[in-house]
Amino acid sequence: MYLLEQLLNGLCQGSIYALMAIGYTMIYGVVGLVTFSYGEVVMLGAFSAFYISTAFGSNIVLGAIGGFVGAGIIGIVIHKVCYEKFLDAPKHIALLCTIGMSMLLKNLAQIVFGSQVKAMPEVIVSKNIEFLGLRVTNLQIIILAVVIILSISLSLFLSRTKGGMMLRAVSQDKKAASLVGINVKRTTMLGNCIGCGLGGVAGVLLGIYYGTIVPTMGGMVGLKAMSACVLGGLTNIPGAAIGGLTIGVLENLGIMVFSSGYRDIFAFIFLVIVLLFCPQGLFIQRKGRK
Amino acid sequence: MRIKIEKMKNYVNDHKMIFICGLLTVLAILPFIIQDNYIKGILVKMLMYGTLASSLNIINGYSGQNNLGQAGFMCIGAYTAGIIATSTNVNFVFTLIFAGIVAAIFGYLVSLPTLKLTGIYLSIVTLGFSEIVRLTALNWTPVTGGAMGIKGIPNPSIGGFLLNKPEHYYLIALAMLVICLFCMNRVIKSRVGRAWLSIREDEAAAKSLGVETYKYKSINFVYGALWAGVGGAFMAYYYRFLSADMFILDEGFNVLAMIVVGGQGTLIGPLLGSVIVNTLTEVFRFASEYRMVVYAILIIGMMWWRPQGLAGASDSILAGGASLKTDKKNKDKKVVKADGNLRG
């Protein structure tokens, strides 16, 4: 029973990681460049939800929208500073730029928000639900639901709407996309904005799940999102989701065996082992991208 | 003006040995002229980070692999030295070398999964490695002291002569840096160094010309980790206290900022970056929370306006957009540069 409960915890955390990884994959797929400032985007999403909840009363929908918008705006800033100029330049330039951006955002957040831990306002009254003998909190169910709803709406957006088609076209081939009349710069910005927004919602969920937010929460979380994305094969959205879930479950199973201080190690060890044997990630895409 | 600078450059190049010896003498005498211990401390830091940045420069600058986890190698070197120095009574020179070798072994292990990887895969594995090392140091209490860290690392001594003054540390750091730069200069001009440069410029082309890229990339990691370990070990002796917090990712990014500012793939760049970043650190000491903000703006600004770094050549492959624009103009020059002077 304990094992099953840990599995459930893992799934719940993993679904938050999955949401982040989906956003990350979106950014990498559309822009084609790595970002190291994703963890900070997640953190800023959580903080914008925090300030909105304190100003307008705590409501999970309002908080999620606030996180999405706040992180999306940061996404536009990141795009303007780190990507727009360097789309054709060597890749390490944009990479270093995002590292600089990550340091900038983290330290500015520490100055503006204060570096102490803040308690997230209680959005939902936590309740335990007995389900087939398992103890489940309603928080876990809501988090899972939010993640699933967002994933489905993203996949609908990508497959059914004009904007989604433009995003997919740009992610496949920028030159060909611009030849058929797509504004590549604006589309990459849109993709970056949506990816960052999803990260922001994930940050809100993280804040609700742990109950606290802190300006330095982004570093480790961003690394995990990146690992999940790499596990899934970088441009594969379902793969990234599965990668995120795997990392969440592995962490919680790892705690059962070793002490909880080692919690953050498991994801990376798993990543290194996977990359040792299949350097393309767990799911190799049939359609090759260059 | 330009001709005058050319002339001066030629003059310096012709009398290189004399200039280097003169500079070294000045540097060696410097701590005995300056009386302020505070400034001496800053100088030691500059030299120490110069070595550490050079070690990262070997990996990032010369073979073009994006290693972001240099703090992990530093951590391994520092903890190795700390554990040896507190538990046994061996000479500190031996400890430095041993710490370097231990870090190099880990460098080999890291290079194994990363050989086939490029770009983001490599970066994320090295980042993950750095965090794995730090968290292990934080949690493996019986060996590393856990959250308490390692305290009371003894002062180094040579032949019974205790080295405990800032100028002693300064001279050790200077010797370390000079040996590091000298070895690097020799290695870069050897077959191995040329292989690294060819991998950086174009891996596929290097492979097709018979360069065993896996082997040389592995050697590159081992060599970079070796010097990071030595630098980390010196750090342990200098601070005389170790904790896992000293090796967070920001520390690695700090070293990265140095080579970015100074210029990747140049010998003098890391030292220049170390001097600039450490000076900035001291200038902004009154506003310590804005310090990292300044670093961040520095990195972004460098990437926008001079991606090859202050000491980097403007026709370097690292210059990116800037070189693309002037590519046509400098094409002939570039060829000469590529085989004549290996930017060493």
Mean pLDDT of A188-215: 90
Residue in the structure block whose two tokens are 């003169």? B22
Strand runs labelled E in chain A: 118-119, 128-131, 134-137, 212-213
Q: pLDDT value at position B343?
A: 42
Q: pLDDT value at position B76?
A: 93
How close B117 gets to chain A, by Cα (Å)?
7
Name the average pLDDT for chain A: 85
Q: pLDDT value at position A266?
A: 83
Contact partners, residue B275, CB within 8 Å, separation at least 6:
B46, B50
With beta carbons less than 8 A apart as the criterion, state whether B290 and B310 touch.
no
Work out the pLDDT band at A193, boundaries 50, 70, 90: very high
CB contact under 8 A, B320 and A86: yes
Q: pLDDT value at position B341?
A: 42
Q: pLDDT value at position A1?
A: 72
Amino acid of residue B154: P
DSSP letters, B38-64, are HHHHHHHHHHHHHHHHHHHHIIIIIS-
Chain B residues within an 8 Å CB radius of A96: 256, 260, 299, 303
Terminal Cα-to-Cα distance of chain A (whole angstroms): 46
Q: pLDDT value at position B329?
A: 44
CB contact under 8 A, B300 and A275: no
> pLDDT, tens digit, for every residue of A58-78?
778 888 888 999 999 999 999
Give yes or no for B304 touching A (CB within 8 A).
Answer: yes
CB contact under 8 A, A275 and B260: no
pTM of the model: 0.84
* Rounded distance between C-alpha atoms, residue A25 and residue A31, angstroms: 10
* Rounded distance between C-alpha atoms, residue A47 and residue A218, angstroms: 11
Give yes or no for B324 touching A (CB within 8 A).
Answer: yes
Exposure string over B158-189, b if 16+ CB within 10 A, otherwise e: eeeeeeeebbbbbbbbbebbbebbeebeebbe
Size of the A and B interface in Cβ pairs below 8 Å: 129
Tell me A120's DSSP state. P
CB contact under 8 A, B289 and A110: yes
**Residue A128: pLDDT over 80:** no
- Structural tokens at position A7: 């599995």
Nearest-by-Cβ selection for B303 from A96, A259, A279: A96
B113 vs A52, more confident: A52
Q: pLDDT value at position B54?
A: 92
With beta carbons less than 8 A apart as the criterion, state whether B216 and B199 touch.
yes
| Residue of chain A minimizing CA distance to B307 | A93
**Residue A280: pLDDT over 80:** no
- Give ipTM to 2 decimals: 0.82
What is the pLDDT tens value at each position of chain B, 344 positions in all? Answer: 778 888 887 887 777 788 888 888 888 888 888 888 888 888 999 999 999 999 999 988 888 888 888 899 999 999 999 999 888 888 888 899 999 999 999 999 888 877 777 667 888 888 888 988 998 888 888 888 878 888 888 888 777 777 778 888 888 899 999 999 999 989 999 999 999 989 888 888 888 988 888 889 899 999 999 999 999 999 998 988 888 888 888 888 888 888 888 888 888 889 999 998 888 888 887 777 787 888 888 888 888 888 877 877 655 555 554 444 444 444 444 444 444 444 43
- Among the listed ranges A140-154, A162-176, A267-281, B185-199, which one has the minimum average pLDDT value? A267-281
Chain B residues within an 8 Å CB radius of A222: none
